[in-house]
Amino acid sequence: MHRTGPSSRTRRFLRERAIVLAHRDGPRSARWIWFYTEQSGVLEAIAECARRPRRHWTGTLLPLNYGQLTYRLAHAETTARLISFDLEWSPYLRGDLHRLAGPAGLGLTSYCAELTCALLTGMLTDTFLFQQLMEISHLLITPVPMRALAVAWTWQVLCHHGELVLHGGCTACGQMVQGTRQPLVWTVSGQIWHPQCRTVRDAHDLTVDPEISGILHCLRSHGIASIPPESPAWSVLARWTPGWTFLRARVETILGRPLRSLQVMADLAATPSQTP
Ligand SMILES: [Zn+2]
């Protein structure tokens, strides 16, 4: 069928920087790709592989690769047509493939994708979060533990998204809590308390340890790139089991469901699942 007339004129070619989040096989030889783009946020695209030699895409559309994305999006369509993706950086080409393709690497990339798609779909890109994803892509080829990256990413997304506040009124007494300067406790529902005021059992002390508190403050203020790959701060974050447990629980409370990526990727979990 010929597509002529006004409808074809409403189609636009768009080009912007983007990070690959995830991909899945689509109908026939097509592929679904999810991107986090610099201006449009989470973008679902379909790549018609059948129309191009398959090798054109090989190694290009892998999670946490980034580059210049060209796509076509017709008015009122939610799925874009992928025209091209010019790779600018790929951790798979520069790093240790074994490390990236291992269970922990796959776990991290699917976790980043799930968190981004679940919390940020329908929003314009936040430049800061776009930058943080790019930093994670670079850190994938360093000795930074995958779980430390997952903790840092979750912390950034939740704080930036307003789902984790660092200061505000204590739920019990109403007095100010300054989470970066004095201890505070959170509940998985997002309330904050002075440690001495809490009346609930599922409250999490995250800022009592000054070392952890300092790292979180640094991440929040200056981003992931402010901590060099060789810094001991990354192993501290990777071993910070109570924090990881809390951050996951907070995300699952917001989503109202368990995180699928973590159900299948036990390597990133703090402890084996207790649920039957
Ligand atoms: Zn209080």
CB 150 within 8 A of CB 245: no
Contact in structure between 274 and 266 (CB atoms under 8 Å): no
From the CA of 196, how far away is ligand 1's center (Å)? 7
The residue type of 188 is V
What separation in Å is there between the alpha carbon of 238 and the centre of ligand 1? 30
> Which pLDDT belongs to residue 7?
47
* 211 in Cβ contact with 227 (< 8 Å): no
Write out the residues surrounding ion ligand 1, Cβ under 5 A.
170, 172-173, 194, 197
How many whole angstroms from 92 Cα to the centroid of ligand 1?
48
Query: What pLDDT does 52 receive?
Result: 56
Maximum average pLDDT range among 45-59, 115-129, 164-178, 214-228: 214-228
Using pLDDT thresholds of 50, 70 and 90, give the confidence band for residue 3: very low
The yes-or-no verdict on residue 137 having pLDDT over 50 is yes
Strand order in the sheet with 185-187: 192-193, 185-187, 203-205
pLDDT band at 36, cuts 50/70/90?
very high
The C-alpha atoms of residue 101 and residue 121 are separated, in whole angstroms, by 26
- Distance from residue 198's CA to the centre of ligand 1 (Å): 7
Report the range of poorest mean pLDDT among 42-51, 86-95, 156-165, 248-257: 42-51
Q: Are 193 and 187 in contact (CB under 8 A)?
A: yes
The answer to whether the beta carbons of residues 252 and 115 sit under 8 Å apart is no
Sign of CA dihedral 246, 251, 254, 257: negative
pLDDT at 2 over 60: no
C-alpha of residue 170 to centroid of ligand 1, in Å: 5
Q: Which of 173 and 48 is assigned the larger pLDDT?
A: 173
Model confidence band, residue 122 (pLDDT cutoffs 50, 70, 90): confident
Between residues 131 and 58, the one the model is more confident about: 131
CA-CA distance, 38 to 99, in Å (whole number)? 27
Q: Which residue has the tokens 């903790």?
A: 151
Q: Which amino acid is at 21?
A: L
- How far apart CA 20 and CA 58 sit, in angstroms, is 13
Q: What is the mean pLDDT of the chain?
A: 84
Tell me the whole-structure pTM to 2 decimals.
Answer: 0.86
Å from CA of 239 to ligand 1 middle: 29
Q: Assess whether pLDDT exceeds 70 at residue 268.
A: no
**If DSSP codes are grouped into helix, strand and coil, which group holds residue 178?**
strand
pLDDT digits (tens, 9 = 90+) for 146-194: 999 999 999 999 998 888 887 888 999 999 988 766 778 888 888 888 8
Distance CA 88, CA 67 (A): 4
Centre of ligand 1 to C-alpha 182, Å, is 12
Lookup result for tokens 């398959």: 54
**Paired tokens of 163:** 């789902």
Contact 193, 170 (CB under 8 A): yes
Q: Which domains does the chain have, with CATH numbers?
A: 1-89 (2.40.50.140), 96-276 (1.20.1440.120)
